[in-house]
Chain A
Amino acid sequence: MAICNIPGLNTLRSSDLAVMYSFREKYDAPDRSLSFARWLASIPLWAVFVFCAIIVLYPTLVLAQSVAEREGPFQVLLRWMPLLLTSGFTLNILISFLTMALGTIGGVFLGLAQISPTRAIQVPGKILTHTFRNSPWLVVIFIVMLSIPNEVDIFGQTIPFPDWIKAVLGLSLPIMANVSEIARGAIQSVPSGQWEAAEATGFNRHQILWRIILPQCIKRMIPPWMNWYAILTMATPLVSLLGVGEMVTTTRLAMAAENDRPDLLSPFFGFCLVTFFVYCYPIARLTIRLEKRFAVKL
C-alpha cells in the first residue's frame, strides 16, 4: 500500500506541466574528437609509479613460489632492454611517423574531396572516408599486407616491399580517413563570411581554399590530429600479428629466447606498456593544453 506517490520512484515520472531539461549535458559534452587524448591526459602521473610497483611486486611473488635458483626477472629484462628499445620501439616510432605523414597528406586531399562541389569527386571521397573510418583496423591491415607482393619488378629493377612498409600502408588508411574528417570539419567550421569576402575580391575557389581557408584550419586541426597520432602509436603493435619486428614482436622473441619463463611475462609486457605510456602521455597532455589555448583564441 503506497502511502504517497513519488514521481520517478513508485509512479511514472511524467507531468502535464512544461518541463525544462538541463542544457548542461548538451553543452558540456566533451568534444568526442579528442576522447582518447582526454582520457590519456587525465591519468595522474602517480598511476605510472603504482603500475611499475605492481610489475615489480608480481614477479617477486611468482619467484617466491619457485625454488630453482636463476637470474632474477629484472636482470633478464635489463639485459634485453636496449634491444627492445632500439630495434623494437624505434620501429614503432618510425611506423607511426611515416603512417601519420602518409595519412595526413592523403587525409587532407580526401577531406577536400568531401567538400568538393563536383559530385563525382565528393561521393567517392565520402565513401572512402566512411569505409576506412569504420572498418576494424586489423582487417584493413590484413587486407593490405596480404595483397601487396613482397617485391615488384619495375623496368627490370626489383623493388622490395618489407613487411613494415606494408604495415605503414595498411595503418595509414584508417588514419587517412580520420584526418579526412578532421580536415572536412575544420574547413566547414570557418565562417562563410571568409568565403564571401574572398570571392568578392576576385579569388577563385582554389585560391580561397589554399590561401585563406586552409591556413586558418591548421590551428583547429592540430589538437584532433595529435589525438589521432597518440591513438595510432598505441595501435602500432597490431602489426606484430603479421610478424613485423616491432616492440611487441621483439618482446615475444626475447621471452622465447629465455625459455618462456612465466615470471618474465609481466616485467616484459609491463615494460612495453610503460614505454608506450611514457611516449604518448606527454603528447596527450600537450594536445589538451593546445586545445584549451586555441579554444580561447578563436
Chain B
Amino acid sequence: MTWTTNLPIISIKDVHKSFGPLEVLKGVSLDVMKGEVICIIGPSGSGKSTLIRCVNALNDIQAGSITVEGQEVHDPHLDKLELRKKVGMVFQQYNLYPHKTALENVMLAPVVVLNQDKDEVEKRAYALLEKVRLKGKEDNYPGELSGGQQQRVAIARSLAMNPDVMLFDEVTSALDPETVKEVLVTIKELAAEGMTCILVTHEMGFAREVADHIYFTDRGVIVEHGPPATFFDDAKDPRTKEFLSQIL
C-alpha cells in the first residue's frame, strides 16, 4: 500500500504494550494527519511517553499496529533507519552528546548515518541553530549551555535529519520556568511551518494554543479526545474533568 497525504501520516490501532506483568497501553488508537499538531496529556504513568516511544520503535509493542507513512513500525523486517529518517524525537533530558559542540551535535547524524557531504551539512547545521535562536553558540559544549538552550540544540539535532514527523516527549519538564518559553516558541514556529508534531506535555496553556487535537490518556487508554476548545471547556468524562480541575 502506498501512502498518500490524504491518509493519516501516523496511524495507531489498538496498541497493547506491557513491561513484564505491567500493562502500560491497553488498546490505544489514534490517527495523525500530515501537518497536524496533536498533544497527549494525562497523569504520570498513564502511558503517554511509552506511546510515542513506540512510534519510532524505541519500544516494541505486543499487539496492534502502528504505521508511519503506511509503513508498519512493528514489522520484524523494518528498516529502522528509514523509519528514523522520517520520525525525529526530542527527549525530556535533552540527551545531547556531552563531548561534542552544539554544531557537532547537530552534524553528527547526517554525516555518520546518512553519509552526507560535511560542508553541506555544516551549512545546514548553522542555519538550523540560527532557526532555534542559537546563533553564536555553535562552538559551545552542552555543559556550557542552559537547559533551554540545550533543548533547542536537541531540536535542531533532530531537524537535521529532515524528518516528516517530530515527537516531543515532555521536552519542557526538566526546564526552569523562565526557559520553558523559549523552547515552546521554537516548537510553535515549527508547527506553524507545517511540521507534523506529536507532543507529550504538561503545558496546558501551550497545548490549547498550538494543538489541533488533544488526547487525554489515563491508565493506558485514551479516555477522551477532541479539539482544544471543546476538550478544555466542555470535557465529558469525569476522569478528564478531575484531571483538568487539578491542573488548571
Interface residues, chain A, with chain B CB atoms under 8 Å away: 191, 193-194, 196-204, 207, 211-212, 215-216, 297
Contact yes or no, B80 A202, CB < 8 A = yes
The CB with the most chain B CB atoms within 10 A, among A198, A200, A204, is that of: A200
In the complex, B185 has a CB within 8 A of chain A: no
Contact yes or no, A200 B89, CB < 8 A = yes
Cβ distance B38 to chain A, nearest Cβ, rounded Å: 19
Contact yes or no, A193 B161, CB < 8 A = no
Report the separation of the CA atoms of residues A199 and B89 in the bound assembly, to the nearest whole angstrom: 10
Contact yes or no, A197 B114, CB < 8 A = no
Report the separation of the CA atoms of residues A28 and B91 in the bound assembly, to the nearest whole angstrom: 33
Looking at the complex, which of B93-101, B122-130, B188-196, B213-221 is the stretch in contact with chain A? Answer: B93-101
* Apart from A201-B109, A211-B112, 19 more pairs, CB < 8 Å: A193-B91, A193-B95, A196-B95, A197-B97, A197-B157, A199-B58, A200-B84, A200-B158, A201-B84, A201-B88, A201-B113, A201-B158, A201-B160, A201-B161, A203-B109, A204-B80, A212-B97, A215-B99, A216-B98
Provide a sorted-by-A list of 19 A–B residue pairs whose CB atoms are within 8 angstroms: A191-B93, A191-B95, A194-B97, A196-B58, A196-B91, A196-B95, A197-B91, A197-B97, A199-B58, A200-B88, A200-B91, A201-B88, A201-B108, A202-B80, A202-B81, A202-B109, A202-B113, A204-B81, A211-B112
What residues on B are CB-neighbors of A201 within 8 Å? 84, 88, 108-109, 113, 157-158, 160-161
Report the separation of the CA atoms of residues A98 and B98 in the bound assembly, to the nearest whole angstrom: 32
What residues on A are CB-neighbors of B81 within 8 Å? 202, 204
Cβ distance A208 to chain B, nearest Cβ, rounded Å: 10
In the complex, B74 has a CB within 8 A of chain A: no
In the complex, B225 has a CB within 8 A of chain A: no
What residues on B are CB-neighbors of A204 within 8 Å? 80-81
Contact yes or no, B56 A200, CB < 8 A = yes
Report the separation of the CA atoms of residues A207 and B58 in the bound assembly, to the nearest whole angstrom: 17
Report the separation of the CA atoms of residues A191 and B92 in the bound assembly, to the nearest whole angstrom: 13
Query: Which chain B residue shows the least CB distance to A218?
Result: B99
What residues on B are CB-neighbors of A212 within 8 Å? 97, 108
State the total of A-B contacts with C-beta under 8 angstroms: 61
Contact yes or no, A202 B161, CB < 8 A = yes
Contact yes or no, B91 A202, CB < 8 A = no
Tier of interface size on chain B: 20 to 34
Main secondary structure of the interface of A (DSSP, over half): helix
What residues on B are CB-neighbors of A202 within 8 Å? 80-81, 84-85, 109, 113-114, 161
Cβ distance B66 to chain A, nearest Cβ, rounded Å: 15
Interface residues, chain B, with chain A CB atoms under 8 Å away: 56, 58, 80-81, 84-85, 87-89, 91, 93, 95-99, 108-109, 112-114, 143, 154, 157-158, 160-161
Contact yes or no, B112 A207, CB < 8 A = yes
Cβ distance B157 to chain A, nearest Cβ, rounded Å: 7
What residues on B are CB-neighbors of A191 within 8 Å? 93, 95
Query: Which chain A residue shows the least CB distance to B108?
Result: A211
Contact yes or no, B95 A197, CB < 8 A = yes
Query: Which chain A residue shows the least CB distance to B157?
Result: A201
Cβ distance A25 to chain B, nearest Cβ, rounded Å: 31
Report the separation of the CA atoms of residues A200 and B109 in the bound assembly, to the nearest whole angstrom: 10
Contact yes or no, A207 B88, CB < 8 A = no
Query: Which chain B residue shows the least CB distance to A196?
Result: B58
What residues on B are CB-neighbors of A215 within 8 Å? 99
What residues on A are CB-neighbors of B160 within 8 Å? 201
Contact yes or no, B113 A203, CB < 8 A = yes
Cβ distance B77 to chain A, nearest Cβ, rounded Å: 15
Report the separation of the CA atoms of residues A198 and B98 in the bound assembly, to the nearest whole angstrom: 13
Query: Which chain A residue shows the least CB distance to B111?
Result: A211
Query: Which 5 pairs of residues, A with B, have the shortest CB-CB distance?
Result: A197-B95, A193-B95, A201-B109, A202-B84, A200-B89
The CB with the most chain B CB atoms within 10 A, among A191, A196, A197, A211, is that of: A197
